[in-house]
Structure 1
Amino acid sequence: MKKIITLLGLIICIANAHAQFQKATAPIAEKKEHWRVIHADSVADNYYWMYDYFGKGPDSTKAINYLKAENAYLDTVMSPSKPFQSDLFLEMKSRIKEKDESVPVYKNGYFYYYRTEEDKQYYKICRKKESMDAPEEVLLDADKSAEGHAFYAATGFDVSPDNKLMAFGVDLVSRRQYTIHIKNLETGEILKDSILNTEGDPCWANDNKTLFYTSKNLATLLPEKIKRHSLGTSADQDEVVYHEKDNTNYLWVKKSKNNQHIFIYSTGTLSSELRMINANKPTSVFKIFQPRLKDVLYDVVPLDDKFLILTNKDGAKNFQLMECPLNNTGESHWKQLIPNRKDVLIEGIEEFQDFIVVNERKDGLVKLRIRGLKDSAEHYLNFGEAAYSAYIIPNPEYTSDVLRYSYTSLTTPSSTYDYKIKSKEKILLKQQEVVGGYNSTDYVTERIYAQAKDGTKIPISLVYKKDLNKDATTPLLLFGYGSYGISMEASFASSRLSLLDRGFVFAIAHIRGGQEMGRSWYEDGKLMKKKNTFTDFIDCGEFLIEEHYTGKGHLYAMGGSAGGLLMGAVANMSPSLWNGVVAAVPFVDVVNTMLDESIPLTTNEFDEWGNPKNEDAYFYIKSYSPYENIEKKNYPNILVTTGLHDSQVQYFEPAKWVAKLRSMKTDKNQLLFRTNMDFGHGGASGRFDYLKETAEIYAFLLNLEGIYK
């Protein structure tokens, strides 16, 4: 009898949930015949015309009208939840301390910080000379600069060595094409030296008048040239000091922490190459540190008397740390300091004059290893939680004996610490305040392991309300990414409390394709092993049901970008497992995008997904690409989001996917598609506007659970 009552309750719950969605007629996209023929394989692509707004084709206006029609449909369907969305937005916004200030960072005689004000969307970059009691200088008022713009992003703030000038990049379109501006910090004047179409990465030489920056290809948006700019001259006269001809590499420029070198980085998925000059001699010719080697990645950290090299050379899959003299940088002079280890990934090095901090990852968690440069004495920082995230934040002073780092977990708000190396003392400088009160002991975090079909143990991080009664009716949102070797960290988000406090469990699946468990974890989830990423996620979902964290009809999935590819794949492969799927800016048309080298970032991705011009890669990608594998069958409820100006996943990928899903799915579940017509890949730029997007997603999920307040 209990089972009958439970089932009846579930049916009523689902019926009520669907009653919260307003009935409306979904837009049906026109089909136009278009064929892709390659490797003797002919495939119809009836929605290819949606490309035309990007490609400036004849159906450009029609493509925009379709996106608008989908927006109107979503607005109508979700109109009953508008008051709830407004409540969710205000609830999440109320947790944010509106008037706030960051922990000051000391650099070259000044304390730098940013602060926010009540009811303001952006921030102010400020500094004070030598003491926090000194008068404040506002270097950039982003609230004022953003006025009149739907989107505003500033980046790359770099102050000249004499502290008189600041260079920074600004994007007003959300396509990551930054214009570099230079501000005279003594007069407040913005100089005429405006540099267009950059990565927003200005780098000052030590002469206070020479800037280096990365210039982008106008069509593909790939970073392809490093240029040198002289103060007071036209950017049209800027000299190209390096042109990367390999369009599978990323390119950037930066100055070393000890201010002695300027480095040009050219890095692909499998190999890298660095060039350098003396920062005091900006017109000198860049010298290659070590010519690129097949399947060898390396990064360089300069000290006073030598270079440190972090590399996977000689089969060091999880990387090793090496050293070489300042005047002999070729790989034949590299000497091992810290060897490669099977169970520990070395992710990075933070250098100081007397010690280094080795950023390691073991069992999916970050470990910070302190090593003295004079005596090689070592110790680790202890963090003390089962699932957490720790990372080194800006430590610009090379001579400091204090390490600054950030710590957070699923229950611990972001916290900034100073760690005194000699005394091993931790000092909490600031913890993110959750306005209205927050008690971490009211929530529980766990680290559990699902078993994949091939026997691999997949870590899952979870958080939920302590008094939650977990059973087959508990809603659970499973988040995943699993690409590019990017590890998903177990970090705090105050907005997430709006789900947890309404009975949701939140979980992160640390699936292959990320790098949580070492470099092999990444390599086992890319190229011809990419399907491991998708099956791992499905196995995690099934495990959570088996362990009674949730049940069928209450499991939800969410991911964005490459995580959106994950969503599309698991919706195709195991549609009945999920009651709802949220796919944010999803990379779902993998074959067609990877065949088109005019699309931004395509060529950089060949070592991640494969080049479909190769027959084996083509058929493997085709076998999982979400757009290619839509079938006439039932799909879960799906919410899809994109941005019209997205430069990483173009709008037409999710648009085509949604249109094809509509024409083929056999269920009556919700399929909703939101295009933000003003923004790009990262969504809204204001610190409150993004919460409106979050509120819409949460309302979608909560409605499916029959939760309306």
Structure 2
Amino acid sequence: MTNVHPPRAAIKPTELTTHGHTRIDNYYWLNDRENPEVLDYLKAENDYLEQVLEPVKAFRETLFEEMKGRIKQQDESVPYKEGSYYYYTRFVEGGEYPIYCRKPGSLEAAEEIVLNVNELAKPHAYYDVAGLEVSDNEELVAFGEDTVSRRMYTLRIKNLKTGEIYPDAIPDTEGGSYAWSADNQTLFYIRKDAQTLLGYQVYRHTLGSDPAEDVLLYEEKDNQYYMGLGRMKSKKYIAVVSDHNGVATEYRLLEASNPTGDFVVFLPREKGHEYDVQHLETTFYVRTNWKAPNYRLMEVKENKTDDRSAWKEVIPHRPNVFLQQLDAFKNHLVLGERKEGLMHLRVLDRKNRQEHYLDFGEPAYVAGIGYNPDFNTNILRFGYSSLTTPNSTFDYNMDTKEKTLMKQQEVLGGFDPANYTSERFFVKSRDGAKVPVSMVYRKGTPKDGSAPLLQYAYGSYGYSLDPTFSSTRLSLLDRGFMYAIAHIRGGQEMGRKWYDNGKMLKKKNTFNDFVDVSAYLIENRYTSADRLFAMGGSAGGLLMGAVVNQKPELYRGVVASVPFVDVVTTMLDESIPLTTGEFEEWGNPKIKKYYDYILSYSPYDNVKEQAYPNMLVMTGLHDSQVQYWEPAKWVAKLRTLKTDPNELLLQTNLEAGHGGASGRFQALKEIALEYAFVLNLVGIRS
């Protein structure tokens, strides 16, 4: 739109000097969300986006209604039994949020409402509930609520018999980390630091007492660690976990029947040793990377946990198999093992020592151990989906090997999986690494270079990006798009080495893998450079920034959601939330070799005078993970230096954070914006 001019952020140079090297940051001033000039700029960018996309405003609404129309509005989850109740979640017609429910003893019993999140959310523009924990006597539920989207949860307690929400309200807690003791009066929680947003203190709260009198039980002094807390499956222990991927793990345990006792260290932390623990009867099962980069399984008796000479090997280390998941039952162990990028579920019979794997029969899929709170059962609940198979919940008899489909996501609007096909293949990266690619498209889509294609990836923190089903994605596939997931290094799809070779001083492998997959897709005529789009969020947004600096000519358009693009400045500022916990991912730039390496790829620092593809950048004002000013600064600098007439749009959700809008339908509006942006660029507007 030639008569619409983009906003220009004021240039206010700030000198930033590290290791004798000075950078000039013209937009450093944007990091003050209380500054009216900052808010005015963000609002001006929002207005500009709406003006530019005015021709597809109706199309965005069409896409939103289309995606919303595929969702079964009145729906419920498969119940699971815990204690004397069956628990499930349901949605009602028009409801944005879930209703948590239960039935005593039988599914035919009268329903009890645990939490109606629709009601709780009414006074708030943003609302999220996390960490529901029911007391042993099944009369109380603890939960956390976030009304800002900073992931700072206020701990609340509800009486499930009377419906009363108690006045106990404890702010700034870790939302998924609550645990009741066996006395039904004592609750443990983690307090978060308001500045860094790191959980760092464990407290004990007595029901009805003043939270100011809560007892501090443990404080994590090392701010590289993330903390978690919960009741173990056996219910015997409450566990506090200090953990950092790539650094170390340390468990502390307290018997739930002794709430005023002391937490005891399971095994002291040791640099490089990561582990997790399951308790069964008098034995602990330990998934550990001790002398095993891809992890192995060991067992140890309760009173010998800190003596590794007493640990006995159950499953040895294998160089080509990554041991990722573990669940324990009275007569069985279940392992989630990742091989060549795919998850395999392995069942071990503890009585007769026999074992077997489940068979899934698709080339690209995702499977995972579900929630199995009951020890005394031979039924395993697991989840399954693929690029063409909607999310499915199965119950599996581990003795008879009988598999029962309990529920499959119902996709409305005439969806037929037979209309779609998936592929899985490997692309050789420039250094010889073979990168898995998962692809889906509608049958009949041409492979002559004419099809538009959206390539997605993440590639950080060892997170494995599995080929899951998406009903929203059908809005692209049905309009002729192909969709490809590049399982690049930095994830853990191909084992621990895949992660190690995509972080720290090897981070550029992540970006190179993505670019080389793009080149392969063009060379093999899946698509062409004027019809190839790239998308990533958070650390995947960093990927987008690095890719467009390296090879902008490969892409027609890029969508970067909550992108981590100002890597050097952020990693130098330990007051910014989560910075210290990231040193083992990116490196600490206060050390010169890491400073130099990060500076060589940091997207914001490497914007230069060149043509860039069309770009849509999205962020949230209250983002707790990637601060809004990173994408805002990036867009401002791109506007100054880019030499092309292509679209550059910034959308800031002024009421949300890292995860975007709350509510199952409001979030679809952001996806509709993303899809309208890419579809419009290839001339599809209906």
* TM-score bin (small chain): over 0.9
Aligned runs of 1:486-565 on 2, under 5 Å?
A: 486-565=463-542
2:597, 2:170 → 1: CA distance? Answer: 42
Aligned runs of 1:21-32 on 2, under 5 Å?
A: 23-32=3-12
CA contact (8 A) 2:127 2:147 kept: yes
Cα deviation, residue 374, structure 1: 2.1
1:140 is matched with 115
2:482, 2:227 → 1: CA distance? Answer: 40
Q: Is residue 687 from structure 1 mapped to residue 667 from structure 2 by the alignment? A: no
CA RMSD of aligned residues (A): 0.8
2:99, 2:558 → 1: CA distance? Answer: 37
Query: What stretches of structure 2 of length at least 5 have no aligned partner?
Result: none
SS in 2 for 1:199: strand
1:206, 1:543 → 2: CA distance? Answer: 58
Aligned runs of 1:345-356 on 2, under 5 Å?
A: 345-356=322-333
Please, which of 153, 157, 170 is the counterpart of residue 195 of structure 1?
Answer: 170
91-100 or 301-310, larger mean C-alpha shift: 301-310
Please, which of 627, 635, 642 is the counterpart of residue 604 of structure 2?
Answer: 627
Count how many residue pairs are aligned between Structure 1 and Structure 2.
683
183-192 or 464-473, larger mean C-alpha shift: 464-473
**CA deviation digits over 1:494-522, x for unaligned, max 9?**
11000000000000000000000000000
Change over 3 Å in CA distance of 1:552–1:134 after alignment to 2: same
Query: What stretches of structure 1 of length at least 5 have no aligned partner?
Result: 1-20
Aligned runs of 1:403-442 on 2, under 5 Å?
A: 403-442=380-419
Please, which of 70, 74, 79 is the counterpart of residue 99 of structure 1?
Answer: 74
1:137, 1:288 → 2: CA distance? Answer: 39
Q: What is the identity percentage for the equivalent residue pairs of Structure 1 and Structure 2?
A: 52
CA contact (8 A) 1:622 1:628 kept: yes
1:363, 1:23 → 2: CA distance? Answer: 52
Please, which of 9, 17, 20 is the counterpart of residue 40 of structure 1?
Answer: 20
SS in 1 for 2:598: helix
2:302 is matched with 326
2:213 is matched with 237
1:595, 1:682 → 2: CA distance? Answer: 24
SS in 2 for 1:494: coil
2:203 is matched with 227
2:552, 2:566 → 1: CA distance? Answer: 18
2:37, 2:164 → 1: CA distance? Answer: 44
Task: Kindly provide the amino acid, as one letter, of the partner of residue 237 in structure 1.
Answer: E
CA contact (8 A) 1:299 1:310 kept: yes
Q: Is residue 671 from structure 1 mapped to residue 648 from structure 2 by the alignment? A: yes
CA contact (8 A) 2:660 2:667 kept: yes
1:306, 1:123 → 2: CA distance? Answer: 37
Cα deviation, residue 22, structure 1: 7.0
CA contact (8 A) 2:325 2:369 kept: no
**CA deviation digits over 1:295-323, x for unaligned, max 9?**
11011111112111111112x10001111
**CA deviation digits over 1:58-107, x for unaligned, max 9?**
xx111111111100000100011000001111111110000111101110
Q: Is residue 640 from structure 1 mapped to residue 620 from structure 2 by the alignment? A: no
1:281 is matched with 258
Task: Kindly provide the amino acid, as one letter, of the partner of residue 559 in structure 1.
Answer: G
1:364, 1:249 → 2: CA distance? Answer: 28
Cα deviation, residue 332, structure 1: 2.6
Q: Is residue 64 from structure 1 mapped to residue 44 from structure 2 by the alignment? A: no
2:280, 2:636 → 1: CA distance? Answer: 56
CA contact (8 A) 1:124 1:142 kept: yes
2:141 is matched with 166
SS in 2 for 1:157: strand
SS in 1 for 2:624: coil
Cα deviation, residue 467, structure 1: 1.2
Task: Give the TM-score, by structure 2 length.
Answer: 0.99
Task: Give the TM-score, by structure 1 length.
Answer: 0.96
Q: Is residue 445 from structure 1 mapped to residue 425 from structure 2 by the alignment? A: no
Task: Kindly provide the amino acid, as one letter, of the partner of residue 13 in structure 2.
Answer: E
2:93 is matched with 118
Please, which of 346, 361, 364 is the counterpart of residue 387 of structure 1?
Answer: 364
1:394, 1:337 → 2: CA distance? Answer: 23
SS in 1 for 2:324: strand
2:31 is matched with 51
2:262, 2:92 → 1: CA distance? Answer: 46
Cα deviation, residue 52, structure 1: 1.6
Cα deviation, residue 243, structure 1: 0.3
475-484 or 296-305, larger mean C-alpha shift: 296-305
Please, which of 65, 69, 80 is the counterpart of residue 90 of structure 1?
Answer: 65
1:465 is matched with 442
2:46, 2:226 → 1: CA distance? Answer: 35
1:594, 1:267 → 2: CA distance? Answer: 20
2:458 is matched with 481
Cα deviation, residue 148, structure 1: 2.3
1:15 is matched with none
Task: Kindly provide the amino acid, as one letter, of the partner of residue 356 in structure 1.
Answer: L
**CA deviation digits over 1:140-160, x for unaligned, max 9?**
111111112111100101100
